[in-house]
Chain A
């Protein structure tokens, strides 16, 4: 069995949550082998990350190089090609960095590549058996990956539950000397933080959230009307922002905002993992979608199969009926 490594993404001196998940995913490939972590970066933050990983990983390979202070995937790729033993299996979190890094890395390593892995069903000879989802989560696919010359697997965040058990006391091994001078024809310049719009959806306790099912921009008024009746705010999923119907600041998801409402009404939202990644704090999740097979119904608390363009006005009326009643009663002698 080849050696298994986990590339650890980190920020401001803290390892990403996926660090423990990759450790768990590695055991599904080879239960007998403790994987090693690889961390690239520079300075005190890098040392802090390596130290924090000692409770999860038996071995932490550290690559400290000044050009790696910002994780430019092109430079990280060159560093990994330099330090990885031939034929290794490398696990990477399937986020914006993994998507940037891994396909090209697999080519440079002459390794197999499977992205967005949600399950690993073991190894049979030279074939590793992985499961991924396609068509926005509508269908699962079994993919066999040839690992005879190594493999890069991008693992979906949240798909593997971290292992339970006592902490290990890992060793940090400095591999920096194995990496030569790093340069790239792509240079990081700056990061522009997310904009805050007119409404801060991260602070709203109740969200009426709309997706592709809203159909056209004029229909957004239907969701706004329901939100007004409920005392809620309107948020949305990616396709609504792509179509320029709502501002980016209203988008819930991994490339948008992370929200923690008490109640979340997903209206005409299919429920891709990128969208659900932005929904935290286990809200009461109501899904309304005309497709009974929409993936959102797998994770919602309450599901309603209906056309949102008709259902949302009906619900708004129902809410207003109730709120109108006390007023009437007060007028009675």
Chain B
């Protein structure tokens, strides 16, 4: 089975403080540390495991600029056979629909049995997979926590629904699935692995290379446009306990006792 995984480079929330810039027009991007979106790692791992069982290849694709190559290399170090960077000045400022349209154009240049995305990006909307499927006219399922390949071009998939319950569906190939975190344990990638793929060329394709009409791409065609950022209102806000650790544990102990927190 040939599998395409769509991945994205995002600011890493465990490494950065995410705050608005002074003008409130964007998040503060100076000195941000980026990494591959967490859910996309699970998607790549799942693709690698399926390809190992059924044969076939895994290709990782992203839309962006030169700086986004690093996440493709990381996923190639995990085992993806190739990485593709979709990059064009005309793609700049695309909304989710624009990104889905660019990915659709690329997907149609190959023959992929299965297309995976991460369930959601930290800075994203959990939208590109569903939009891509609708554009390709493929069936789609979100929040996928299990994939079983059955005979006859079908998958049996598990979706996560409310309260820890699971929904089982059969879905025909080709299809698009958005992969939930926790579906597997993504393999570790060391510096050695990254070095091994450092010299592998990554094709960089623009709109003409994927025969894409630009009706949906770019900021001018976006239907959803970010116009500002701010720190969420504090709500009632917590009463903060401060002082030495000993003082704080004393205060908290009394509070816990008063609220029935000690049995």
Contacts and interface: CB of A to CB of B under 8 A. Distances in A.
Interface in A110-140: 111-116, 129, 132-140
A302 B126 contact: no
Contact of B164 (A104, A188, A257, A301): A257
A22 to B, nearest CB: 17
B159 interface: yes
A331 interface: no
B211 interface: no
Contact of A230 (B27, B123, B262): B262
Interface string B206-247: 000000000000000011111111111111111111100110
Interface string A276-318: 0000000011110001010101111111111000110011011
Contacts of A189: 156, 168-170
Interface string B1-41: 00000000001011001111000000100000000000000
Given A194-B165, A248-B164, A318-B249, A185 B175 contact: yes
Majority secondary structure of chain B interface residues (helix, strand, loop or mixed): mixed
Interface stretch (A38-46, A58-66, A160-168, A236-244): A236-244
Contacts of A262: 259-261
Contacts of A151: 223
Nearest to B24: A142
Interface string A247-270: 011010011111000110100000
Contacts of A112: 223-224
B27 to A, nearest CB: 6
A232 B263 CA distance: 7
Interface stretch (B51-59, B66-74, B105-113, B250-258): B250-258
A151 B224 CA distance: 10
B232 A191 contact: no
A248 B156 CA distance: 21
B20 to A, nearest CB: 7
Contact of A146 (B163, B168, B185, B223): B223
A106 B101 CA distance: 13
Contact of A135 (B11, B129, B252, B263): B11
A192 B259 contact: no
Interface in A76-110: 95-96, 99-108
Contacts of A68: none
Contacts, number: 276
B215 to A, nearest CB: 11
Contacts of B164: 194-195, 248-249, 251, 255-257
Interface string B119-140: 0001111111111011100111
Nearest to A97: B161
Interface residues of B, number: 85
A243 to B, nearest CB: 8
A142 B226 contact: yes
Nearest to A285: B238
B141 to A, nearest CB: 6
Contacts of A217: none
B64 interface: no
A187 B159 contact: no
A6 interface: no
Interface in B140-175: 140-143, 156, 158-172, 175
A99 B168 CA distance: 17
A141 interface: yes
B62 interface: no
A192 B165 contact: yes
Interface string A176-194: 0000000011111111111
Contact of B139 (A96, A184, A232): A184
Contacts of B181: 238-239, 242
A170 interface: no
Contacts of A104: 130-131, 133-134, 140
A215 B171 CA distance: 37
Contacts of B236: 298-299
A191 B123 contact: no
Nearest to A278: B163
A2 interface: no
B79 interface: no
A138 B249 CA distance: 27
Given A142-B227, A143-B224, 4 more contacts: A99-B126, A136-B13, A139-B229, A143-B226
16 contacts: A108-B134, A112-B223, A115-B127, A134-B124, A138-B13, A139-B232, A186-B170, A195-B164, A231-B262, A244-B185, A255-B160, A256-B164, A284-B255, A284-B259, A286-B256, A297-B238
What 4 A-B pairs come out closest when comparing CB atoms?
Answer: A231-B263, A103-B130, A194-B164, A303-B238
Interface of A: 72-74, 95-96, 99-108, 111-116, 129, 132-146, 151, 184-195, 205-206, 212, 230-232, 238-239, 241-244, 248-249, 251, 254-258, 262-263, 265, 284-287, 291, 293, 295, 297-306, 310-311, 314-315, 317-319, 322-323
